[in-house]
Protein backbone atom coordinates (compact mmCIF):
# COMPACT_ATOMS: atom_id res chain seq x y z
CA UNK A 1 0.00 0.00 0.00
CA UNK A 2 1.58 3.17 -1.25
CA UNK A 3 0.21 6.30 0.51
CA UNK A 4 1.12 9.70 -0.82
CA UNK A 5 1.45 11.72 2.40
CA UNK A 6 2.01 15.02 0.61
CA UNK A 7 -1.23 14.63 -1.38
CA UNK A 8 -3.15 13.66 1.77
CA UNK A 9 -1.89 16.69 3.71
CA UNK A 10 -2.80 19.02 0.82
CA UNK A 11 -6.30 17.49 0.61
CA UNK A 12 -6.88 17.86 4.36
CA UNK A 13 -5.64 21.48 4.30
CA UNK A 14 -7.88 22.18 1.29
CA UNK A 15 -10.86 20.76 3.21
CA UNK A 16 -10.22 23.03 6.22
CA UNK A 17 -9.70 26.08 3.99
CA UNK A 18 -13.05 25.37 2.29
CA UNK A 19 -14.86 25.08 5.65
CA UNK A 20 -13.16 28.26 6.93
CA UNK A 21 -14.19 30.15 3.77
CA UNK A 22 -17.85 29.08 4.19
CA UNK A 23 -17.93 30.42 7.77
CA UNK A 24 -16.08 33.59 6.77
CA UNK A 25 -18.53 34.19 3.89
CA UNK A 26 -21.55 33.69 6.20
CA UNK A 27 -20.08 36.19 8.66
CA UNK A 28 -19.47 38.67 5.84
CA UNK A 29 -23.07 38.30 4.61
CA UNK A 30 -24.39 38.86 8.14
CA UNK A 31 -22.32 42.06 8.49
CA UNK A 32 -23.49 43.21 5.02
CA UNK A 33 -27.16 42.65 5.96
CA UNK A 34 -26.68 44.58 9.20
CA UNK A 35 -25.05 47.42 7.24
CA UNK A 36 -27.91 47.44 4.71
CA UNK A 37 -30.47 47.75 7.53
CA UNK A 38 -28.58 50.59 9.22
CA UNK A 39 -28.12 52.47 5.95
CA UNK A 40 -31.92 52.91 5.63
CA UNK A 41 -32.71 53.63 9.29
CA UNK A 42 -35.36 56.28 9.99
CA UNK A 43 -34.85 58.79 12.81
CA UNK A 44 -37.95 60.56 14.13
CA UNK A 45 -37.85 64.07 15.58
CA UNK A 46 -40.72 66.09 17.04
CA UNK A 47 -40.12 69.74 16.20
CA UNK A 48 -42.06 72.34 18.22
CA UNK A 49 -42.36 75.68 16.40
CA UNK A 50 -43.07 78.92 18.24
CA UNK A 51 -42.43 82.08 16.26
CA UNK A 52 -43.78 85.61 16.18
CA UNK A 53 -46.65 84.65 13.87
CA UNK A 54 -46.53 80.84 13.78
CA UNK A 55 -47.10 78.04 16.28
CA UNK A 56 -46.83 74.42 15.28
CA UNK A 57 -45.61 70.90 15.87
CA UNK A 58 -44.03 68.86 13.09
CA UNK A 59 -42.83 65.26 12.88
CA UNK A 60 -39.59 65.01 10.89
CA UNK A 61 -37.72 62.01 9.53
CA UNK A 62 -34.04 62.91 9.95
CA UNK A 63 -32.91 59.40 9.02
CA UNK A 64 -31.84 57.81 5.77
CA UNK A 65 -34.80 55.48 5.24
CA UNK A 66 -38.61 55.70 5.26
CA UNK A 67 -40.33 56.08 8.64
CA UNK A 68 -43.61 54.16 9.02
CA UNK A 69 -45.77 55.28 11.95
CA UNK A 70 -47.20 52.36 13.95
CA UNK A 71 -48.76 54.43 16.71
CA UNK A 72 -48.65 57.97 17.95
CA UNK A 73 -50.30 59.20 21.13
CA UNK A 74 -50.59 62.67 22.58
CA UNK A 75 -51.17 62.82 26.33
CA UNK A 76 -52.12 65.89 28.36
CA UNK A 77 -50.12 65.44 31.57
CA UNK A 78 -52.39 67.78 33.50
CA UNK A 79 -55.76 66.22 32.63
CA UNK A 80 -54.70 62.72 31.56
CA UNK A 81 -56.58 63.19 28.28
CA UNK A 82 -55.21 61.07 25.38
CA UNK A 83 -55.69 61.45 21.63
CA UNK A 84 -54.14 60.12 18.43
CA UNK A 85 -53.86 63.66 17.02
CA UNK A 86 -53.21 67.14 18.41
CA UNK A 87 -56.26 68.84 16.92
CA UNK A 88 -58.58 66.86 19.24
CA UNK A 89 -57.31 68.80 22.27
CA UNK A 90 -58.86 71.95 20.77
CA UNK A 91 -62.33 70.53 20.08
CA UNK A 92 -64.45 73.42 21.38
CA UNK A 93 -62.00 76.20 20.47
CA UNK A 94 -62.94 78.32 17.47
CA UNK A 95 -59.49 78.46 15.84
CA UNK A 96 -58.79 78.68 12.11
CA UNK A 97 -55.85 76.27 11.66
CA UNK A 98 -53.32 76.66 8.84
CA UNK A 99 -52.62 72.92 8.76
CA UNK A 100 -53.09 69.78 10.86
CA UNK A 101 -52.94 66.01 10.47
CA UNK A 102 -55.23 63.24 11.63
CA UNK A 103 -55.22 59.43 11.17
CA UNK A 104 -51.44 59.14 11.36
CA UNK A 105 -51.14 55.38 11.90
CA UNK A 106 -49.49 53.51 9.01
CA UNK A 107 -48.50 56.77 7.32
CA UNK A 108 -44.95 56.95 6.07
CA UNK A 109 -42.47 59.80 5.90
CA UNK A 110 -39.67 59.70 3.36
CA UNK A 111 -36.16 60.75 4.50
CA UNK A 112 -35.65 64.50 5.04
CA UNK A 113 -39.40 65.08 4.95
CA UNK A 114 -42.08 65.85 7.54
CA UNK A 115 -45.73 65.71 8.54
CA UNK A 116 -47.29 68.83 10.03
CA UNK A 117 -49.11 67.67 13.15
CA UNK A 118 -50.49 71.13 13.94
CA UNK A 119 -49.91 74.63 12.57
CA UNK A 120 -51.43 78.03 13.32
CA UNK A 121 -50.40 81.19 11.47
CA UNK A 122 -51.71 84.65 12.21
CA UNK A 123 -51.18 88.32 11.59
CA UNK A 124 -50.17 90.37 14.60
CA UNK A 125 -52.78 93.00 13.79
CA UNK A 126 -55.57 90.55 14.66
CA UNK A 127 -56.03 90.47 18.46
CA UNK A 128 -58.37 87.45 18.26
CA UNK A 129 -55.57 85.41 16.66
CA UNK A 130 -53.13 86.66 19.28
CA UNK A 131 -55.47 85.41 22.03
CA UNK A 132 -55.82 82.09 20.18
CA UNK A 133 -52.03 81.75 20.08
CA UNK A 134 -51.89 82.14 23.86
CA UNK A 135 -54.59 79.48 24.25
CA UNK A 136 -52.69 77.12 21.95
CA UNK A 137 -49.47 77.55 23.94
CA UNK A 138 -51.35 76.92 27.21
CA UNK A 139 -52.65 73.58 25.91
CA UNK A 140 -49.51 72.45 24.06
CA UNK A 141 -47.19 73.03 27.02
CA UNK A 142 -48.80 70.09 28.88
CA UNK A 143 -48.67 67.60 25.99
CA UNK A 144 -46.35 64.57 25.86
CA UNK A 145 -45.84 62.76 22.54
CA UNK A 146 -45.37 59.00 22.44
CA UNK A 147 -44.34 57.53 19.08
CA UNK A 148 -43.67 54.00 17.84
CA UNK A 149 -42.49 53.59 14.27
CA UNK A 150 -40.71 51.05 12.10
CA UNK A 151 -38.23 50.87 9.25
CA UNK A 152 -38.78 49.11 5.92
CA UNK A 153 -37.53 45.83 7.41
CA UNK A 154 -40.33 45.90 10.02
CA UNK A 155 -38.01 46.60 12.98
CA UNK A 156 -40.01 48.51 15.59
CA UNK A 157 -38.48 51.62 17.15
CA UNK A 158 -39.83 53.45 20.20
CA UNK A 159 -38.93 57.12 20.28
CA UNK A 160 -38.33 58.47 23.80
CA UNK A 161 -41.37 60.44 24.96
CA UNK A 162 -41.16 64.10 23.99
CA UNK A 163 -42.65 66.77 26.25
CA UNK A 164 -43.77 69.94 24.52
CA UNK A 165 -42.64 72.14 27.42
CA UNK A 166 -41.02 74.37 24.80
CA UNK A 167 -44.36 76.21 24.69
CA UNK A 168 -44.11 77.02 28.43
CA UNK A 169 -41.40 79.65 28.07
CA UNK A 170 -41.87 83.15 29.46
CA UNK A 171 -42.42 85.74 26.78
CA UNK A 172 -41.77 89.44 27.04
CA UNK A 173 -44.22 91.79 25.42
CA UNK A 174 -41.67 93.96 23.64
CA UNK A 175 -44.19 96.66 22.74
CA UNK A 176 -45.01 97.22 26.42
CA UNK A 177 -41.32 97.13 27.35
CA UNK A 178 -40.55 99.67 24.63
CA UNK A 179 -43.26 102.05 25.89
CA UNK A 180 -41.79 101.89 29.43
CA UNK A 181 -38.38 102.97 28.14
CA UNK A 182 -39.78 106.08 26.41
Asked whether the beta carbons of 66 and 42 are under 8 A apart, the reply is: yes
- The mean pLDDT of the chain is 87
Give the separation between CA 135 and CA 36, rounded to whole angstroms: 46
What digits encode the pLDDT tens for the residues 63-80?
Answer: 999 999 999 999 999 999
Q: Mean pLDDT over residues 128-137, rounded?
A: 82
**Dist. CA 179–CA 133, nearest whole Å:** 23
Give the separation between CA 176 and CA 162, rounded to whole angstroms: 33
Whether the Cβ atoms of residue 61 and residue 42 lie closer than 8 Å to each other: yes
4-47: per-residue pLDDT in tens? 888 888 989 999 999 999 999 999 999 998 888 888 999 999 99
pTM assigned to the model: 0.76
Average pLDDT score over residue span 139-168: 93
**pLDDT for 176:** 53
d(CA 30, CA 122): 53
Q: What is the pLDDT of residue 171?
A: 56
Residues 6+ apart with CB under 8 A from 156: 70, 148, 149, 150
Looking at per-residue pLDDT, the higher value among 181 and 111 belongs to 111
Q: How far is CA 176 from the centre of its chain?
A: 38
Instruction: Kindly give, in sequence order, each residue whose CB lies less than 8 Å from that of residue 48, ignoring residues fewer than 6 positions away.
Output: 56, 57, 140, 164, 166, 167
Averaged over 155-173, what is the pLDDT? 84
DSSP 167: G
Largest CA distance in the chain: 116
| For the ranges 94-98, 127-131, 168-172, the one whose mean pLDDT is highest | 94-98
Of the listed ranges 106-110, 149-153, 167-171, the one predicted with least confidence: 167-171
> 40-60: per-residue pLDDT in tens?
999 999 999 998 889 999 999
Amino acid sequence: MNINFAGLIIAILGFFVAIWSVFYTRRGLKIQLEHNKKSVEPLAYINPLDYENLIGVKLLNNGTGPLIINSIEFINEESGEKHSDLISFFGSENILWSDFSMNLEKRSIIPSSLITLLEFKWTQANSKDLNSSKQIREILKNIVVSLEYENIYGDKINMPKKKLTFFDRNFIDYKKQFKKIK
